Structure 1
């Protein structure tokens, strides 16, 4: 439960931070390109640090490493709070912080993924991941809305609250206890650094699942454009932006609760592909909508569909990877996630600069539907996957002590 509370606090802080950074950037520059650039600068360091991050995660105490990631983000939020309070926050400062956040998340995301199987038995991992998502999606619902309301009092207020939440998350991570195996003495070579890449490449079900998520969200995501939709199309202020950012999490939370009660057991591949197709359709509706309520509903449906994809993908990755390689495989997985999110934000901003925000979202929705159809043919092992949890999958390397 310590990890659960730490992740809820960390996700809440991160969501509020992104609302504040996005709105402040658009307020300063009024540029879709700069909104996309924030995502690109978060993705680039994640890509560069993937291999060394995975190697370190498999060698170091994962709880302490996660605490360090939270602490660094607390310092970033504190720096932005000070700059905003003094009226010296600039486009360059926001972009510089984006680079640091990207570097930190190269370690944070795979560390979190590699920790979870050490704390729960293998047979309940799908439900544990769904239960974890309940808390996380609750944070994603409430935190952006709260961040938007706090931003009305000043950007510095939002950043100060983020600082406190990151500090709480760091403290909780330091208290994590689990059966930590001794660090391997295996030297860092290209062979060991690329072990996670080789594992993913040779397991086509895992490769298909994470690459499907990559391209679906890369094309279909519209997070970076929400400030434009909120301000120029739906005509709502920061509070409306916060609600729009929360809407996908409302659907994801409802789906998390459903998956906790009724986990996916059979027809895994078809369920995954269908969820991605629904995500694409929801984004088409969002792109065409000029109603705030319809836009909220479309985003909620997209969040519910995405949650099905997330739970299936995370379960496949964790159960079919030996513990001694989970850090490296999770690092590879995090690159795919980062590419779909941060690089997807850049893609949205760039296409919006050329085609307008509506054209960008519509193109992305169509692209997502095409990806779902292609993956049905390109990855037959994934499409034909029946049982989610199969006999003979990798066992977690340890159990929680507290």
Structure 2
């Protein structure tokens, strides 16, 4: 083979460097430099294979003869005819006739293109960045015994030019793929979140409808029945002693129904705002329990909590309501405090008691806790439940990240 003068080699190397500039993907890059490389190392087939992140698979990008290597999806490095080079076991591969060379024809090797295209002379050098093999440059020819050690040296110089550029292309491709995967995941998460919010809104509407039906019909009927029984008792038409348990049962039934109505339609929340609704819940829960529990409510949200979408606001209230009821019923607490805080990254709610703590009160309603977690997930809020300071009492904390646009009310931001 005709040996090029150093000045001619330098011109071709500079040509390769210039041609690489502006190439944004592997296939166009190798095709852009193929002609310049052919002046240095004649070839019938030229390709680069790039090891993918993780080192298990590689992809070939070729020019000249089109083969199954370039048309094949990412393949296992372990099946590559040049796997010893890609694994860093040899500094280069050079053969006079790859058709009969056992290094290229081991069991399981994807070497069919060598046979189909009669690629006898083959020369392979690694593409390295900071000592790590990221792929290989391969030159092949139909003629046998075409390449020698001088060609190996020239191929290494070419590989040194290609390696950093292809390394950057691989990093960019990986970043692009990661961005696509992340965008798709975010889109799926946002779709699920919006679907869950619509479902929650529909459920809340149904709860409100049930509450109004109970108030307008069932509770009214029971009230009339109770008053009639009272009149009968006063008129001594029926023994008051016999009717007294029935009247008492009716009163309890009406009280339970009122509780269902309040829970189904938090009217205080809608009429007077979040803080007032929480205070009302604290008062009623403690009063109905008959326990001597003191309470504290701190609202440091600056009114931002009342700007939330109704579905989100109701979900937050339901979580707070359940946490308060758990503290009253199970914590054996002397004091319960609720803190509402508006922070730069969202809204935080903390329900704290000085009772027996999470570890001891493991008999608490598991379903209620699961419901709180589920409601939090539906609005993209973070939910935690832990022991208080010094393992005394229990702290339930909810944090809702927020975003805001000029045309919409405050919306929950999806949690990564």
**Same fold by TM (over 0.5)?**
no
The structure where strand makes up a greater share of residues is 2
From the CA coordinates, give the structure whose radius of gyration is larger: 2
Higher relative contact order (CA 8 A, sep 6+): 1
The structure where helix makes up a greater share of residues is 1
The alignment's TM-score, normalised by the length of structure 2, stands at 0.23
The alignment's TM-score, normalised by the length of structure 1, stands at 0.24
